[in-house]
Structure formats: C-alpha cells, structure tokens
Structure 1
Amino acid sequence: MTIHAIHTGLDTIWVVLTAAMILLMEGGFALLEAGFVRSKNSVNIIMKVFADITIGTLCYYLVGFALMYGSDLLGVIGTDGFMLKGNFTHLKLSISTDTFWLFQGAFVIAVISIVSGAVAERINFRAYLLYVLLMTMFIYPIAGHWVWGGGWLGKLGMEDFAGSAVIHALGGFSALAAAILIGPRKGKFTSKNSSSIALPSNLPLASVGAFLLWFGWFGFNAGSTLTATDVRIGHIAIVTMLSAAAGGATALIYTLFRYGRSDAPSVINASLAGLVGITAGCAFVSDQSSILIGAISGLLMMGATNWLEAKRIDDPVGAFPVHAVSGVWGTIAVGLFATKGGLLEGGGWHLLLIQLLGLIILCGWGFLLTWAGLKLINKWVPIRASNDEEDLGLDISYHGIMATHTSPEFLQVNDYLNRNED
C-alpha cells in the first residue's frame, strides 16, 4: 500500500467520523428545542428535525450540492454536479466526492435546524416542509458557493473556516425573518408591552441537547480540515473548547451577580454562543483570543435576547441571539484576531473589511430570501398555525400524538377536546 493510499484512507475515516458527529448534533437540536418549548409542541420539534434530515438531505443531493460546489459561473453559482454526476476535480480534494458530500450534507441540515427553533410552537408544519426545500436547495447552497465553492467572496479573501457566517449568521438572520413574519406565539406579549414567560418544559433535556451540540462541534470545526493529518486539529479543538467555556462562564457569573442566581437558559445558550463565535476563526486565532471571543459571544447573546424582547420578536429557543449575533461577532473577530491578517495582529484593515462585506451580503441574503420565500409559500399554504391548532398544541394538531400523557398540558388538551365535542 502506498503512502498516498494510506493518507487518503485516513482522511476518509476522519471526514466520515466527523460528519457523523455533526449529524449527531441534530439530536442536540431536537433535545434542546424540545426542552425549551412547551410539552404540547415537543413532538412537532422532533418531526421538524426529521424533516430537516430526510427532506433536506435529499434536496441537497439532488440540487443543493451542485449549486454550491459545481463549476463556477461568474463567481455566483455552481452549474453542474447534480446528484453528484460530474467532474469535481476543481475542488482539489484528498478524499472522494462522496465523502466530501457526506460532510457538507451534515452542514446543510444544521442550517435549516437553526430556523426551526425560531418559529417553534406556531409554524404550519406543511409550510415548514416547503421552506426546507427552499433553504437546502437554494438559499444556503448559493451563499455557500460565494465563500467556499469558488465564488466571489472567497476569491476576495473572506475567511470562514467552519461557518460562523455561511451557516450561523445566514441561518440566524433567516430565523429572524421567519420569526418576524410569522409573529409571536399567542399571549407572548401583552398590551402593556410586557412579556409573558412561557416556561421551558424540560431544562435538563435542553442541557443534554446542548452537551450533544458541544460534542458535535468538535467534528464541525476540526472536521473542516478535511484531512486527518492537519497539524491544526489539536489547536482547533482546544480553541473550540475554550470559547464555549468562556461563553458559558460569562453568563453564569454575570447572571449570578446581576440577578442573584445563575440563569440556566442563559448559561446553556451562552455556551452555544461561544461555539458559534469561534467557528469562523478556530484555525486562525490564538488560545487567548478564543477566550475573549467566547466571552464576548456570551455577553452579546444575552444582550440580543433582551433586544428581541424589547422589539416584541418571539424566538422561543434563542436562535437569533445564539447563531446570528454570535456568528456575526465571530466572523468580525477573524478580521481582528487572525494571527495572519488580523487588524490587532498587525495585518491592517483589508481582512476586516472583507469580513464585514461578506457578513452584509450573507445576512441580507438569508433575511431577504427567507422573507420572500415565506411570503410566496403563504400564498399556497398558510405559514402560521391556526388559533385552534396553536391552542391545542402542534403535536396533536399535526402529528396526532403527544410526547407524554402525564403532563398538565395533556390534561388541558383532553379538556379542550371534550369541550369541542360537547
């Protein structure tokens, strides 16, 4: 066996294993979101995640991958490689196209899952399925081509190693557009401009989801090397850990001194914010910079959560604060702290300005295409669940079952059904 064959084999094993780690993050999304919403909507959360995995995977195989990684047309879009039929030698991979597709397919599922949480408890399930098609076939792949597929932003020099911008900022601003357009859950905001708290149904479940996401993030970031022999893997792993720890610790300490108690949802989401923040620069920044990036990500996440409340925008799981705001900060942080080219490392303004330009384009693309797409979908299928469906719960309304038959909400559903029968 030649050295080349051994190298290819090791790279293939590495990429397949990290792709599996990223896929496991869907279990994290499912548990996190199910724990944050009311129990009468938790099955609906699980079914949306399954829609992401099943329909999203097929759409990306049929269309999305080609638009993202096919032969470049004017720096804007890929033109071939549908159903992986074509020549991908321009990608200069050390692994097979099939292996690379598996890794990228895990990424696209993560993007759509970000939007899922922001519209939890009130989106029409049929409309959501149509949106999955739009995101996985067009919105994300075309934006991804601009940065990673040989498109114009990548050629300008934008750096986004594992997706703070392409995945998280784009997904987060798409989530913001969806949350604004669909509107808040019934009773979330009162006429006196105050917010009613819909208590999470199961915070231990949400925390397990966060731990699964944290675990999968090592595959997300370190796997983006696409090779098992990259000497940066250890560094990528440690800065990923440090940033997440800094984000969570910042929220833990801040809420302890600010409110006299450590707020569990804030600590959970701040840890995830730290992971999002380091995703763009995990291969480019120092250990010390990663701690600062994570700490600021945690603070920005809490500030953005308060901003949403002030603007009366309902985001049940914090998708926008965690993914969009931290993703924006993480992308900017590359322009500030990258050891090669960062402004604060003596590299001048060039990289930072490119990062800012890329963010404006990607965030605007996600927001506007999601807004227009949902408006179009709403002409055929109402994007908002009906009042009765929302009162009853999306589990019963769309899936005919509830997660548990022992919760107080189950008794409320029974009372509701009995009153309607009378």
Structure 2
Amino acid sequence: MEDIIFSLNSVWLMLAAILVIFMQGGFILLEAGSTRMKNAGHIAGKTIFTFGIASIMFWAVGYGFIFGDNGNFFIGLTDFFYSGYEIEGMSYSTAAFFMFQLAFAGISLTIAFGGFAERGKLSAYVVFAVLFSALIYPVVAHWIWGGGWLAEHGKQDFAGSTVVHLTGAMAAFAATILLKPRMGKFNKNGSANNIFGHNQVFTALGVLVLWIGWFGFNAGSTFVVDDGFFGFVALNTNVAAGAGAVSALIISWIVLGKSDIPTMLNGALAGLVAITASCAFVETWAAVIIGIVAGVLVFYSMKLVEKLKIDDPIFALSVHGAAGVWGTLSTGLFATPELATVGLPGLFYGGGITQLGVQVMGVAVSGVYAFAVSFVILYVMKKVMGGLRVTEEEEIIGLDVSEHGSYGYPEAFIAREEQKISS
C-alpha cells in the first residue's frame, strides 16, 4: 500500500509540474496578445529560451539555495547540480518534487519579464534570467518554503502569492523604472495614451490556459492525493478566479460606463494570484471574498500605476504585485484554526493580529529584497552593457525584426512592405 501511495503521489506531483510548465504557454498568449503585432514573435521566443535558462540555473544552484541542507536563515548550502537522487522515507518522488519547484521558478521569472515588454534588449533578458534565477527567487523561496527565517515565524504562503508572484512583480517594477516608458505611452502634459494589444482573443485564451494551469499550481502544492485535500484547494482556487473576473467586470462597467474585457481578464488573474497564498488555509466563502476584493483592487491599481506614469504593458504590478500582497495578507484575516497547518488562525477567527503581523512583515521584507536586488542588478547591467533598452529605431520597427531578423506575422508585414515599394 505504501508503494501504491508513493506512486500515486509522484504521478500527481509530476502532472501538477506539467500543468505549471504549460502555464508558460498561457503567458505567451497573454503577453503577445496584450502587446503589438510587431513584437509578438519576440515575446513568444523569449519566453521559451528564458525558461530554458531558468531550468539550467535551478538545476545548478536554485534548488540547492532553496532546499539545501546545512543552510541558515538566509540560504541553503547543499544539493547543487541536482543529480535526481531519491530521499528514503518520502511519500513522493524527490525528482518529481524538483520538477514541480522548477516550474514555479520559471513562472516567477516570466512575471518579472513583464516589465521589459516591447523595449528590453534580448541580451538584457539573458543576463537577468541567470541572475534572477540564482540570486533573487531562490532567496525569497528559501525564507518561506525552505526552512528560512520567515518559515520559522510561521509565514503563510501555501503556493506562492509572495514567493512567486510578488517576487516577480517587484523585479518587473525595477525594470519598468530603469527602462522607462515605451515611446508614445505618455504625452508631455503627463496624460497617458492607450497602446492596445493586437489580439484580444489571444489574451483571453492565455487567461484560460493560466486558469487551468493554476490547478497544478495550487492543488499540486498539496504534494499528495491520498487524503483528497487537493480537491478542496482546487475548489477555492476556482471560485476566487470566478469572483475576481466578475467583480472586475462590474467595477469597470460602473466606473467606465463600459464592461472592459482586459480588466475582466486581469480580474480573473488577480483572483488566482490572491488565492494562491490562502487556498489551503481558508473556507470557500472566504475564497470568494478574496477573489472579489482582488478584482476591484486590480482595476484601481491599474489606474494608479498609469497615473504614476509607470508603463506596465502586461500589468504585472497590479495583477501579480497588488493582488499578491492582498492574497498574502488575507490569510492573516481568514485562516481558520482547522486549516492553518502553518502559522496561526487569522484575525477573524480569534487569532488576533499576530499572524497578520507576520504576513505584513513577510510581504514587506520579501518585496523590498526582490525590488532592491533587481534594481541594483539591472542598474549595473545598464552601465556595463551600454543600456537595457533597444534604440528608438529598433523600438519603432519592432523587436521581431530588430532582435531576431524575422516577423512573427510575416504575411502581414511583408505585404505592407511590398505595398510601400509598389506605391
């Protein structure tokens, strides 16, 4: 029976890893659809090769920094260049666990690159992918999931609202500051122009792919199937996503007079991001509330970011940053005594402000670390590499051609060029 349970748990963990890796496909559709046609091929391609970089770096040092023995409150110090060995006494395959954790590291990096969209050099992607995968994500993950100092304080983050989403968002924030806005985004008087994505259907399909992949993200974080608890986590995940989509659509309808589709899509993602920390710690009615708040929050966060003249094409700061903060704090409010296997019950369940205080501390320290280290790395890269951003001419013609020498949509652009020549 133990062998059967081991096999079932290992298959579940590997399936969850595959679902999370497939979320990269969702990000390709989401990011390409949310940006202009002239950059679509670049966005799709960089997602694949940066996941390749993340895979190599996680194998070499990332896994060891997070889960290695002989570590300390800051970082792990063993298990580098992971060989695929199995640990006796585990209820699932260690190699499957490695693949699952690798998938999470890749998602955080993809979120970070939202801040580079439509203006970052290919070389900047390569260098930052290496350094983020080695020095930023593993440190925060060790603090919370690897037995680091936040874990010792009982920080609750079941599947990564802080570890994955806030870390990636803060890196994206540093990138948007140093890269500065895209050409034409803001006028001299400070007003913003809408730079519409080229394919809203791609964006919607990307959100659906991410929604499905999130069941691997959250429910897979149970690691086991023998108690059936993964079904409850999946339930909470789904209702939070639905609530986020509905509340974002309604608030946009009320404020703008029209039901804005991009806002609704971002509301679904915000609900997913928010419930990621608390999906195993809260009751289902609380998951609905968490999703509703996330949907409203993402709408106003998007407006605030633009008002501050920050150009965030993929809305990483709002969807993954603001919603990630809310989701992490929500466990300090709604975690129940029965479900809080980590830390203490939330404020609304008689736990006082202790757990909420731990959550606030975790968000603040993790966010500051991710932003500060990302900013320093990117600033040094900017000085050493002669800039992080493509030239104005390259930005105008698009990164498909300027960085890769080919069009993502060759028929459309070649036909346009032929028309210019003939006229």
Q: Same fold (TM over 0.5)?
A: yes
Per the TM alignment, residue 410 of structure 1 is displaced from its structure 2 partner at its CA by 5.7
User: Does the aligned pair in 1 maintain the 2:50–2:125 contact within 8 Å?
Assistant: no
The CA deviation at 1:88 is 8.2
Q: CA deviation at 1:379?
A: 2.6
Match status 1:365 vs 2:363: no
Q: Distance in 2 between matches of 1:166 and 1:68?
A: 11
- Distance apart, 1:118 and its partner CA: 2.3
**Deviation digits for residues 282-313 of structure 1 (CA, Å, limit 9, x no counterpart):** 00001111111001111111111111111110
The corresponding residue for 1:329 is 326
In the alignment, structure 1 residue 387 sits paired with structure 2 residue 392: yes
Structure-to-structure mapping, 1:271-286, within 5 angstroms: 271-286=268-283
Of the three residues 120, 132, 135, the one matched with 1:135 is: 132
Match of 2:170 in 1: 173
CA distance in 1, matches of 2:130, 2:251: 40
CA contact (8 A) 1:81 1:87 kept: no
Map of 2:106 onto structure 1: 109
Q: Which residue of 2 aligns with 1:348?
A: 352
Give 1:225-240 correspondences, 5 Å limit.
Answer: 225-240=222-237
Report the more deviating stretch, 258-267 or 24-33: 258-267
TM-score, length basis structure 2? 0.94
1:82 aligns to what SS in structure 2? coil
1:33, 1:45 within 8 Å by CA — same for their partners in 2? yes
Following superposition, the deviation at residue 37 of structure 1 comes to 0.3
**Distance (whole Å) between structure 1 residues aligned to residue 73 and residue 269 of structure 2:** 32
Gaps of at least 5 residues in structure 1 are: none
Contact 2:109/2:168, CA 8 A, preserved across alignment: yes
Q: Is the 8 A contact 1:158 1:358 kept in 2?
A: yes
The answer to whether the 8 A contact 1:72-1:150 is kept is no
Contact 1:80–1:86 under 8 Å retained in 2: no
- Aligned-partner Cα distance in 1 for 2:282–2:265: 24
Look up the equivalent residue of 1:43 and give its one-letter code: G
Contact residue 252 and residue 259 of structure 2 kept, 8 A:
yes
- In the superposition, relative to structure 1, how do residues 347 and 393 fare at CA in structure 2: closer, same or farther (>3 Å)? same
Pairing 1:192-271 to 2, within 5 Å after superposition = 192-271=189-268
Task: Indicate yes or no: 2:101 matched with 1:96.
Answer: no
Aligned counterparts of 1:345 and 1:412: Cα–Cα separation in 2: 63
1:244/1:275 contact within 8 Å kept: yes
In structure 1, the residue matched to 2:403 is: 398
Query: Does the CA contact (< 8 Å) of 1:164 and 1:331 recur in 2?
Result: yes
CA distance in 2, matches of 1:251, 1:143: 30
Shift of 1:388: 1.4
CA displacement 1:114-143 (0-9 Å, x = unmatched)? 012222000011111100001111200111
* % same residue: 38
Deviates more, 1:44-53 or 1:182-191: 44-53
SS class of match (2:159): coil
Cα distance, 1:262–1:65 mapped onto 2, change above 3 Å = same
The aligned amino acid for 1:397 is S
- Measured in 1, the distance between the counterparts of 2:214 and 2:173 equals 23
Alignment partners' CA distance in 2, 1:234 and 1:143: 28
Q: Hey, what's the Cα distance between the residues in 2 that align with 1:410 and 1:191?
A: 34
CA contact (8 A) 1:177 1:371 kept: yes
- How many residues align structurally? 413
Q: Is the 8 Å Cα contact of residues 48 and 116 (structure 1) preserved in structure 2?
A: no
Deviations 1:132-190 (A, max 9, x none): 00111120011100110111100110010000011111111111111111100011100
For 1:57, the equivalent position in structure 2 comes to 55
Task: Map 1:119-130; keep pairs closer than 5 Å.
Answer: 119-130=116-127
Q: Which residue of 2 aligns with 1:84?
A: 82
Q: State the superposition RMSD in angstroms.
A: 1.8
- Structure 2 CA distance for aligned equivalents of residues 391 and 414 of structure 1: 19
SS of the aligned residue for 1:83 comes to coil
TM-score after normalising by structure 1: 0.94
Q: Answer yes or no: is the 8 Å Cα contact 1:131–1:374 preserved in 2.
A: yes
Which residue is equivalent to 2:186?
A: 189
1:284 aligned partner, one-letter code = F
Match among 4, 7, 17 for residue 9 of structure 1: 7
Relative to structure 1, the CA distance from residue 388 to residue 276 in structure 2 (aligned partners, 3 Å threshold; closer, same or farther) is same
Instruction: Please list, as runs of the form range in 1=range in 2, the aligned pairs for 1:315-326 lying within 5 A after superposition.
Output: 315-326=312-323
What is aligned with 2:160? 163
| Distance 1:410-1:297 versus aligned 2 partners, 3 A rule | farther
